[in-house]
Amino acid sequence: MSGDNSSRYVDTDLSLLNEEHVRRYRETGGEVGHIWNGATALLLTTTGNKSGEKRTTPLIYAQDGEDYVVIASKGGAPAHPAWYLNVDKNPEVEIQVLDRVMPATATTVTGPERERLWQVATEVWPNFDQYAERTERVIPVVKITPRD
Total domains in the fold of the chain? 1
What's residue 10's pLDDT?
Answer: 53
The CATH number of the domain holding residue 71 is 2.30.110.10
| 11 falls within a domain | yes
User: What are φ and ψ of residue 47, in 5° steps?
Assistant: -100, 125
Confirm whether 19 is domain-assigned. Answer: yes
Q: Which domain holds residue 49?
A: 6-146
pLDDT in tens, 11-68: 555 555 678 899 999 999 999 999 988 999 999 999 998 999 999 999 999 999 999 9
Separation of CA 73 from chain center: 8
Note the pLDDT tens digit of each residue in 58-96. 999 999 999 999 999 999 999 999 999 999 999 999 999
Residue 1 domain-assigned (yes or no)? no
Q: Is residue 129 part of a domain?
A: yes
Element of type H or E holding 82: helix 82-89
Domain assignment present for 109: yes
Q: Which residues of 87-125 are buried (b: 16+ CB within 10 A; e: fewer)?
A: bbeebebbbbbeeeebebebeebeeeebeebbeebbebb
Residue 124 covered by a domain: yes
